[in-house]
Amino acid sequence: MTAIQTDHISFKIDHFQLHDLSLSIPSGKITSIVGPNGSGKSTLLKIISKLLAADDGSVYVQNVNTKKYKTKEFAKTIAMLPQSKDALPNLTVKELVSFGRSPYKQFLYNRSNGEDERIINEAMEMTNTTKHKEHLFYHLSGGEQQKVRLAMALAQKTDILLLDEPTTYLDIAHQFELMELLQQINEDHQMTIIMVLHDLQQAASYSHYMVAMKNGSLVDTGFPKKMLTTAFLLNVYDINARIIFEEGYPLIIPKIRRNKDVYCHKHNENK
Ligand SMILES: Nc1ncnc2c1ncn2[C@@H]1O[C@H](COP(=O)(O)OP(=O)(O)OP(=O)(O)O)[C@@H](O)[C@H]1O
Ligand SMILES: [Mg+2]
């Protein structure tokens, strides 16, 4: 089953272009999108979530062209946690998480019902943000804010969750906590999770499927632990490194760059 399909999409902005990108993302799995800065990962997520419109081509979410979705119906299907901190209104954590329920509200009837209340509390519990529920969002640390934004997306109760660099601002312990939480949500609810990650070790370890981009094009897709090779790192990131697996977890070990060798050699000669 395919959760998302992009069919020959192209998009141009200033000097950047997404080139004829065709991609299928499996349903009920965790997919990571990786690639260098500026390769088009966020742009791709924005096109999938209809924040941007492709110049050409089509996007299908659960086999329906995204152009055919009504706004509320789409918001009940797909939630997005954007990369940068949006200018969110200055509200308490609980009030912000409640925004996740907006697609389920009737026009002119804005109050939360018991079901909304249960889902809002559950989203805060899952992200460990209940203790901040009465605090103002802007008084929280960057990492705490990130978890609140995730709670807001979870309260939307969608089949598909798009996350653009969800581990930003999180310390290493909270990064792993988040990865474990996403894995748990995926297993318990078969939610399709698509996330942009820069940490290739985490991407390979926690996802079933990986998509690699470079210069606005797809360069590789597949099973992450197989994709992560020395040749892949050289091709996509232009770095020399070897990869070892320790208890199934991939470790990327960079090789000392040649120019650094030259520098060390010259440095020693001058002593
Ligand atoms: N509104 C815009 N105006 C001009 N250029 C833009 C705009 N949005 C994106 N771009 C350019 O498109 C390119 C791709 O941007 P995008 O944000 O998709 O990259 P990315 O892969 O998500 O990078 P990062 O890993 O740094 O988040 C960049 O070079 C960026 O400067
Ligand atoms: Mg980005």
Domain count, the chain: 1
Asked if residue 266 has pLDDT above 80, the reply is no
Mean pLDDT (whole number) for 87-95 = 85
Nearest to 53 by CA among 25, 83, 84, 18: 18
pLDDT of residue 271: 47
Q: How far is the CA of 197 from the centre of ligand 2 (A)?
A: 9
- Structural domain containing residue 50: 2-232
246 within some domain: no
Closest ligand 1 atom, CA of 46?
18
Any domain includes 266: no
Amino acid identity, position 209: Y
Ligand 2 (single-atom ion) residues, CB below 5 Å: 42, 83
Nearest CA to ligand 1 atom 19: 38
Q: What is the CATH number of the domain that holds 67?
A: 3.40.50.300
Mean pLDDT across 154-172 = 93
Which residue type sits at 53?
A
User: What residue type is assigned to position 119 of the chain?
Assistant: I
Confidence at 141, pLDDT banded by 50, 70, 90: confident
| 40 Cα to the center of ligand 2, angstroms | 7
21 belongs to a structural domain = yes
Average pLDDT of span 179-193: 94
* N-term to C-term CA, the chain: 64
pLDDT for 7-29, tens place per residue? 999 999 999 999 999 999 999 99
| Residue 236: count of CB within 10 angstroms of its CB | 19
pLDDT of residue 106: 72
Residue 249 domain-assigned (yes or no):
no
Which ligand 1 atom sits closest to the C-alpha of 43? 18
Residue by residue, DSSP assigns 61-92 as ETTEEGGG--HHHHHTTEEEE-SS-----S-B
Q: What is the mean pLDDT of the chain?
A: 90
Q: Name 2's bridge partners.
A: 26
Calpha distance 3→124 (Å, rounded): 26
* Range of weakest confidence among 51-65, 189-203, 228-242, 245-259: 245-259
